[in-house]
Structure 1
Amino acid sequence: MTYAIVEAGGKQLRVEPGRFYDMDRLALEVDDQVTLERVLFVNNDGESLVGQPVVEGATVVGSVVSHLRGRKIIVYKMQPKKKTRKKQGHRQELTRVMINSIEMNGKAIASDSAAAQEPAAEQAAVEAEVES
């Protein structure tokens, strides 16, 4: 299984092709391509590349699926014995990104189409086993 650890919006995410992830709001339109160049780690079927701090030539390519807002959190501040209370809510603006491929030096080492073919191959193997 191929995956990468990328830095986006000050957070580190473990990403795989064919999955979507929520990250802080990006100034892009829906269906736009996004390239994440701060790749910290790449695992390609057991072969690991560790960046210092980033892996040279590694990029993660995805597309924007939608913009949404996260769950509401409550911020409550109180000073005891002073009758001071402040209640405030917050919802984080998020962007949902579908990861299409992980690339090394411009060549895709893992892509969404390869991830979609793996379950199909497993299903074919199971069907052949059942027929036997």
Structure 2
Amino acid sequence: MTYAIVETGGKQMRVEPGRFYDIELLAADPGATYTLDQVLLVSHDDEVLVGQPIIQDATIEGMILSHRRDRKVLVYKMRPKKKTRKKRGHRQSLTRFLVCSINLNGQVIAEADAMEIEDLLAGYEASWAETDTLSVASEPEAAATAVAEPEEPAAEEAEVEEPAAVAEAEAEEAEVEEPAAIAEAEAEEAEVEEPATEGEEE
């Protein structure tokens, strides 16, 4: 039996060709090939090769099957007699990684059966097609959003014009109020002068 111990995502894992593993999230699309080069140990034909800390020219070739999330972990915190209760959930993002071969010094020392890989990939190809369809369908929406954005400057122009319109309206009101103010002042002067004229007649 041939196997290897590889480090990925800050964890060490034993891997064998033809099997898939859920590891920490990798920056790759589903269906893409990926290489792990942090190989710590390789066991082949009853010979064990240990790295210090890693084995030079040893790699793990594989394929990204899917990205998924682990089961939810609940975290509950309580402080007695303080009326403090906190309940939070967390789901870790994972990548399902299929090991295709173990390579050492540029040679394949262990490889998965091609028929087994084809049978395994058959169930994932449909999900890859759905992901591509969703990404293509979202592109027109993004383009429509980008075209609609330049309408904002028109609103800014309207906001700039409002103070000028308000100033003109205030000026018109002032012009209308001036004759009324003059008429009121004349009426008050007339009321003040009337008693004086009556005294003179006496």
Taking structure 1 as the reference length, the TM-score comes to 0.84
The answer for the alignment partner of 1:23 in structure 2 is: 23
Could you list the runs of 5+ residues in structure 2 that have no partner in the other structure? 117-202
Which segment is superposed worse, 92-101 or 80-89? 80-89
The answer for the alignment partner of 2:167 in structure 1 is: none
What is the root-mean-square deviation of aligned Cα atoms in Å?
1.5
Cα distance in 2 for partners of 1:69, 1:22 equals: 10
Taking structure 2 as the reference length, the TM-score comes to 0.55
Higher relative contact order (CA 8 A, sep 6+): 1
Shift of 1:45: 2.3
Deviations 1:1-46 (A, max 9, x none): 0000000000111000000000111110111111000000000021
Greater helix share, 1 or 2?
A: 2
The answer for the alignment partner of 1:14 in structure 2 is: 14
Greater strand share, 1 or 2?
A: 1
The answer for the alignment partner of 2:61 in structure 1 is: 61
How many correspondences in the alignment?
116
Identity %: 59
The answer for the alignment partner of 1:81 in structure 2 is: 81
3-state SS of 1:14 partner: strand
1:109 aligns with 2:128: no
Shift of 1:113: 2.3
3-state SS of 1:31 partner: coil
Runs of 4+ in 1 over 2 A off after TM superposition: none
The answer for the alignment partner of 1:92 in structure 2 is: 92
Deviations 1:98-129 (A, max 9, x none): 00000001110000128x6xxxxxxxxxxxxx
The one-letter code sitting in structure 1 at the alignment partner of 2:17 is P
3-state SS of 1:71 partner: coil
The one-letter code sitting in structure 1 at the alignment partner of 2:60 is V
Cα distance in 2 for partners of 1:47, 1:34 equals: 26
